[in-house]
Structure 1
């Protein structure tokens, strides 16, 4: 399953769930990351409440999408401080993995956000549901 894009689910400051599609890349081989703008609703949501999830999975053009595999990463969002060495390195890494992000990666309103994976829920289709720990995720990503 690719980590190019995902659907980020967060809790909007008004208390309602909020979902949006975000671009993703990997930091340090197993931590999902994104570049998100101050203008995006999910930025304020994550700054107010770091608990979130990211839904991964592509929907095939044919067949029932509910029978296709998908994965939910249960995460804690962590914003990096602008101008730090880690911020600069991970922005560069994001652009290397997602070259089209070069257009906005340097904008001052964009933040590097790391999504620390706490748990992984996999749905392989009807009757195929599995749960994995953060350690299982790291081991799988490192292999």
Structure 2
């Protein structure tokens, strides 16, 4: 039996830069969670951005199913990157980030700066950001997989995303 070489490479500076561009340019992401009711996977589109410290963030309502899912099972995954207007969507760069969700408490001293930073990048959130059921969630990356296009896949560590 022959073994194939791993097609996924260690990141180089170009891959790290592309991953950071995908993160920095994203205003939304797909979020994969585990449904606490039955243990099956679920996925949702969420608002997304970086915090003032560079952390990966979202703002989520307690009414959203992924809110309960993240509380019950903090392990999750994010998908960032958009298909271009032309060509095969699978040839466009995308980044999957495996992470652990951490809810930011309403009385966390960092919350006011996070709130202000979020509104600077998501101004429409002003309509609901202060509702009692909304919370910020920080995603602590565990690992990432960058697909930079055909034959350009890279495994990244959390420090590669900073």
Fold shared per TM-score above 0.5: yes
Unaligned runs of 5+ in 2: 1-21
TM-score (norm 2): 0.81
Corresponding position of 2:157: 133
- How many residues of Structure 1 are paired with residues of Structure 2 in the alignment? 138
Is 2:19 the counterpart of 1:3?
no
Contact 1:31 1:117 (8 Å CA) reproduced: no
SS in structure 2 at match of 1:79 = strand
For 1:43 and 1:27, the matched residues in 2 are separated by 19
Q: CA RMSD in A?
A: 1.2
Q: Distance in 1 between matches of 2:92 and 2:161?
A: 20
Q: Deviations along 1:44-82, whole A, 9 cap, x unmatched?
A: 000001001110001112211011110011111000111
Is the 1:95–1:102 contact (alpha carbons within 8 Å) kept by the matching residues of 2? Answer: yes
Runs (4+) of structure 1 moved beyond 3 Å?
A: none
Alpha-carbon shift at residue 90 of structure 1 (Å) = 1.0
Q: Structure 1, unaligned stretches of length 5 or more?
A: 139-143
**Partner of residue 13, structure 2:** none
Match of 2:66 among 29, 42, 53: 42
